[in-house]
Amino acid sequence: MAEYKLEVTTGDLKYAGTWDHIYVTLFGTEGQSKRTELDNFGTDFATGTTGTYTLSTNLSLGKLLLVKVEKDPFSYIPEDEWYLSKIVVTTPDGEAMLFPCYRWISRGELVELRGGRALKGFEEDHPLLIDHREKELILKKSFYQWKILAEGLSHINHFNNVLELPAEIRFSQSKSTEIDYVKMKTGIELKLKGLLGSVEKWESIDDMKKIFWWKKTTMSEYVTEHWKEDDFYGYQFLNGINPMGIKRCSELPPNFPVTEEMVKPFLEEGSSLQEEMKKGNIFLSDQKKMDGIAPRAYDGKPLHVTAGLCLLYMNPENKLMPIAIQLHQQPSEQNPIFLPSDSETDWLLAKMFIKNADSMDHESVQHLMKTHFLAEVYALAALRSFSVIHPLYKLLFPHFQSTLYINTGGRISLFGPGGALSLSSLGYDGLTELMRRNLSETTYSSLCLPEDITARGLESIPNFYYRDDGLKLWNIITSFVKAVVEYYYPSDSEVCKDTELQNWISEIFTYGFLGNKASGFPVGFHTVKEVIKFITMVIFTVTGQHAAVNNGQFDYFSWVPNGPILLRKPPPTTKGQTSMETILETLPNVGETVKFAAMVCLLSETYSDMVPMGTYPEERFHEPAPKKMIKEFQAELSNLSEAISTRNLQLEIPYIYLDPPLIENSIAI
Using CB under 5 A as the criterion, which residues of the chain lie in contact with Fe ion when the complex forms?
A: 550
* Distance of alpha carbon 393 from alpha carbon 114, whole angstroms: 13
Closest to Fe ion by CB, 385 or 545: 545
Closest to Fe ion by CB, 66 or 369: 369
Least separation in angstroms between CB 668 and Fe ion? 8
The residue of the chain with the least Cβ separation from Fe ion equals 550
In Å, what is the CA distance from 528 to each residue of 249, 391, 497, 531? 37, 14, 12, 5
Least separation in angstroms between CB 551 and Fe ion? 8
Is 405 within 8 Å of 169 (Cβ atoms)?
A: yes
Least separation in angstroms between CB 658 and Fe ion? 15
Q: What is the DSSP letter of 589?
A: -
Least separation in angstroms between CB 603 and Fe ion? 6
* Distance of alpha carbon 399 from alpha carbon 226, whole angstroms: 36
| Burial call 363-385: b when 16+ CB within 10 Å, e when fewer | bbbbbbbbbbbbbbbbbbbbbbb
The 10 Å Cβ neighbour count of residue 349 is 24
Closest to Fe ion by CB, 267 or 369: 369
546 alpha-carbon distance from chain centroid: 4
Least separation in angstroms between CB 588 and Fe ion? 22
Least separation in angstroms between CB 547 and Fe ion? 9
The 10 Å Cβ neighbour count of residue 101 is 24
Helix ranges restricted to H, 508-659:
528-540, 546-550, 553-557, 580-586, 590-603, 624-648
Least separation in angstroms between CB 592 and Fe ion? 21
Least separation in angstroms between CB 408 and Fe ion? 14
The 10 Å Cβ neighbour count of residue 216 is 14
Closest to Fe ion by CB, 480 or 556: 556
Is 29 within 8 Å of 65 (Cβ atoms)?
A: yes
* Distance of alpha carbon 225 from alpha carbon 248, whole angstroms: 29
Closest to Fe ion by CB, 234 or 660: 660
Closest to Fe ion by CB, 438 or 550: 550
- Identify the bridge partners of residue 60 per DSSP, sorted by sequence position: none
Closest to Fe ion by CB, 478 or 550: 550
Least separation in angstroms between CB 245 and Fe ion? 18
Closest to Fe ion by CB, 308 or 563: 563
Closest to Fe ion by CB, 18 or 545: 545
* Distance of alpha carbon 90 from alpha carbon 267, whole angstroms: 73
Q: What is the DSSP letter of 335?
A: B
| Burial call 233-263: b when 16+ CB within 10 Å, e when fewer | bbbbbbbbbbbbbbebbeebeeebebeeebb
Closest to Fe ion by CB, 408 or 478: 408
Closest to Fe ion by CB, 91 or 550: 550
In Å, what is the CA distance from 151 to each residue of 156, 333, 362, 420? 12, 38, 21, 22
Least separation in angstroms between CB 550 and Fe ion? 4
Least separation in angstroms between CB 320 and Fe ion? 26
Among 666, 660, 657, smallest CA distance to 618 is for 666
* Amino acid at position 434, single letter: L
